Structure 1
Amino acid sequence: MAKYKIFVDGSSGTTGLRIADRLAARPEFEILTIPEGDRKNVRARAARINESDLSFLCLPDAAAREVAPLLRPDVRVLDTSTAHRTAPGWLYGLPELPGVRSALAVATRVAVPGCHATGFIAPVAPLVAAGLLPRSAHLCCYSLTGYSGGGKTMIAAYQAPRQDPALSAPRPYGLALHHKHLPEMRAVTGLETAPNFVPIVADYYAGMVTMVPLDLEALGLTARQVADTLAAAYAGGPVVAVHPLNEGADGGFLASNALAGSDRLEIFCLTNPEGNQMQLISLFDNLGKGSSGAAVQCMNLMLGLDECAGLAL
């Protein structure tokens, strides 16, 4: 049986390395490579991509935009950067959204979702689609991630023998409220306004928790409506699971690294005793469902393979 030819453009970065490692263990793939001296040669990289059955772009945004126009229309491409997540002609690669699994089977241009965006979209998009959240809703979102989400430079800073003392405490960032994931968070959920979003990085390697508070009373909703809508949206899916209403938190705590090493995403629907306020929480690995795991899941569907092949679930 012929093997699929796969190329990872940018295989030395955090996401690229993890994708390459996952693929190396699978016998159905032939991994294409490029000489070290050609790694910044856009035409050499494009030629390699055009030889492949499917390629991953694990590049900075500018480099992804530079190579994309040089690619054959029929070559299958998964872009892990921010460059094409809201671009025309690119499918947003969150298979759990309605119609996306079937669309992936024929797609040639797929943008892998951002990690923070995944944590926000997963609980919010089904509520907007069901009409429980109006498109005019103004939401807040807080998202805590391990430092691996910042790539090689941030990893080196946190793992330095003499770490800057400031890095030992959680650090909010993107405080100008202009984070690069905001366009996809708005566009994919269908909201008219992007959320008031504060990402936070902390001194642990991997795992993340994304929180979206809801004022149920102001929205005219019940906790049961929200929890049941989310449970129905993800029922039977292999990767995303919704915990029953007010279940799942361990003694009132939730460890943000609890799913590190996993490709699952779990949603919690937690309320106050009065039931008029809710916290929607997505728990997952920023390196799993937040990046390389999501990319491999999309690749499987694009190639007609088992959706969960190579995933840690």
Structure 2
Amino acid sequence: MSKPKIYIDGQEGTTGLQIRQRLSSRYDIELLTIDEEKRKDTEARKALLNEADIVFLCLPDKAAREAVRLIENDHTRVIDASTAHRTVNGWAYGLPELCRYPVEVIGKAMRVANPGCHATGFLAAAAPLVSLHILPPDYPLTCYSLTGYSGGGRKMIAEYEGEEKGKELYAPRIYGTDLHHKHLAEMTKYAGLDMPPIFCPIVDDYYCGMATTIMFYNKYLRGQPTAEEIALILSAYYAGQKLISVTYGRENPMLSANRLAGTDRLELVVCGHEDQTIVTALFDNLGKGASGAAVQNMNLMLGLDEITGLNL
């Protein structure tokens, strides 16, 4: 039986390189490659896009849409790491842990949109509480998300690692201050919210790792659960999951955003008391926030164990 053919369109970028790294040592797939001098050659790319069984698109939004139009057969399946198709009808949203039957939804999908990194942390915390009717969909949620600079791609990596690094890069930097971050649409849709959260992303002087936090007053939740009870509720929701776990943060007075750097899993840490709760998602923006999630989705689409080739 022939091995499934996999092609990464845009493999020279941060996400593409990380996907390639996870796939390069695997013997259960055939990784297609393009000559360096032809990586922007439309006809060469088109040939590989149509030869592959599964294609990863690691491209800007416009280029990702154009790449999909280059596919002229009914067998090539797509995992898009860009923002282009995350809320588009006909595309499965690639956060398997939020699916009751991920093998049916993602495993059989022809088109899968990989989630945004900030959206992954937000949804892992908020979506289960909304779906269980504990967090009201009209609750005015706020969220802040601390990320390593690798999430900004090659240009930002070069800025942080350059010899003439400005002093402003040695401190956390708040961005997206117009409150129109590109992840808000998917955060709102897949959490089941009536309105977008107020979302504040922050980039800091470390390579990778994320801490995405939501917070709320417990008296406005159904049943007014304590923080510890919310931890138990989320633990039950994610019971049996291989890549998401939940802990109650009583023993963690300080949380490091890079604690799970180098892994493809996510940990929800619930902290607080009877009246107030924060839920923090700790994960790697290059792992469960991007490339690790893409490979997890590929595994499901190939009928494999979803953690094959991932870093736990």
Q: State the 1:7 CA deviation.
A: 0.4
Pairwise CA RMSD: 1.3
Decide whether aligned partners of structure 1 residues 162 and 89 sit closer, same or farther in structure 2, where only a CA change above 3 A counts: same
Deviations 1:274-303 (A, max 9, x none): x10001110000010000100011100100
Identity, in percent, stands at: 53
For residue 228 of structure 1, what is the aligned residue in structure 2?
232
> Distance in 2 between the 1:99 and 1:182 partners?
25
Say whether residues 1:306 and 2:305 are aligned partners: yes
Q: Give the secondary structure class of the aligned counterpart of 1:212.
A: strand
Q: State the 1:45 CA deviation.
A: 1.7
Alignment of 1:189-208 (within 5 A): 189-208=191-210
Q: State the 1:43 CA deviation.
A: 4.1
Q: State the 1:68 CA deviation.
A: 1.1
For residue 120 of structure 2, what is the aligned residue in structure 1?
118
8 A Cα contact 1:42 1:66, kept in partner = no
Which of 164, 176, 179 is the aligned partner of 1:177? 179
For residue 5 of structure 1, what is the aligned residue in structure 2?
5
Q: State the 1:225 CA deviation.
A: 4.2
Say whether residues 1:237 and 2:241 are aligned partners: yes
Give structure 1 regions of 4+ aligned residues with deviation exceeding 6 angstroms: none
Deviations 1:23-76 (A, max 9, x none): 111011211122334322334323211101111000011100111122234311
Q: Give the secondary structure class of the aligned counterpart of 1:204.
A: coil
> Distance in 2 between the 1:134 and 1:28 partners?
44
8 A Cα contact 2:107 2:297, kept in partner = no
Q: State the 1:248 CA deviation.
A: 5.0
Alignment of 1:1-313 (within 5 A): 1-71=1-71, 72-97=73-98, 98-220=100-222, 221-223=224-226, 224-243=228-247, 245-249=248-252, 252-272=253-273, 275-313=274-312
Report the TM-score when normalising by structure 1.
0.95
Q: State the 1:96 CA deviation.
A: 0.4
8 A Cα contact 2:49 2:70, kept in partner = no
What amino acid is the match of 1:246? G
> Distance in 2 between the 1:27 and 1:100 partners?
24
8 A Cα contact 2:263 2:283, kept in partner = yes
Deviations 1:119-169 (A, max 9, x none): 000011000001011111110000000000000000000000121111000
What amino acid is the match of 2:61? D
Q: Give the secondary structure class of the aligned counterpart of 1:22.
A: helix
Report the TM-score when normalising by structure 2.
0.95
Q: Is the deviation greater in 72-81 or in 285-294?
A: 72-81
